[in-house]
Amino acid sequence: MNIVLLGAPGAGKGTQASKISEKYNLLHISTGDIFRANIKGGTEIGKLAKSFIDAGKLVPDEVTCDIVKDRLTWDDAKSGYMLDGFPRNLYQAQELDKFAKIDLCLNIEVDESLLMDRICGRRVCQCGESYHVSRLNGKTTCAKCGKELYRRADDNPQTVKSRLDTYNTQTAPLVDYYKAQGKLKTVDGGKGSIDDIFAEICKILNK
């Protein structure tokens, strides 16, 4: 099965992607990971992507599509995969349909006010643990390693609102795109625990 995973920043996409990948032994392909691997490996397309990133520009759709197209030819992608972070807009979705067969678009939907609260209230640790201020009870250190927690520079209301606006403008239209193809399934990512939401996802995938 080949899946496109959609969800606004803060929707819990990364958390659910890890759980899906583990339970269904499905390759999780993150666009960010592909970029980093190509840049680190010094590939031609990696050098091209790096030139845009270093200049503070977005990597053009054509380059992004070429990188994903190449990644899907690897042997580990032949038995199914889950795309996370791609496609980001209609052009990329239309290009994806030219070189891949997508079986399902899984959309994790969360109310925008909840997304703002989740991200702006997030506190992280260098070890990778993440917390929400509402559950810290005034504590400022990581329960796992004891180091000081901090808020990421871009986890502020202005930046988060800008990221959500970009998502709503560019990526949200993909919901209608995959709905028209009969491939869209949506779960409510704002109700219940992480495990509750994953249980709803499993109901969809098990069909």
Residue 138 · residue 149 · CB < 8 Å: no
Residue 26 · residue 20 · CB < 8 Å: yes
Side-chain-side CA neighbours of residue 87 (13 Å): 27
Which H/E stretch holds residue 17? helix 13-24
Query: Any idea what the Cα angle at residue 57 is, between residues 53 and 60, rounded to 5°?
Result: 90
Q: Of 122, 158, 125, 166, whose CA–CA distance to 142 is shortest?
A: 125
Alpha helices (runs of H) in 25-137, residue ranges in sequence order: 31-41, 44-54, 61-71, 90-99, 112-120
Residues 6+ apart with CB under 8 A from 89: 61, 170, 171, 173, 174
Which H/E stretch holds residue 199? helix 194-206
How many Å apart are CA 125 and CA 203, to the nearest integer?
A: 33
Residues acting as catalytic residues:
13, 88, 122, 152, 163
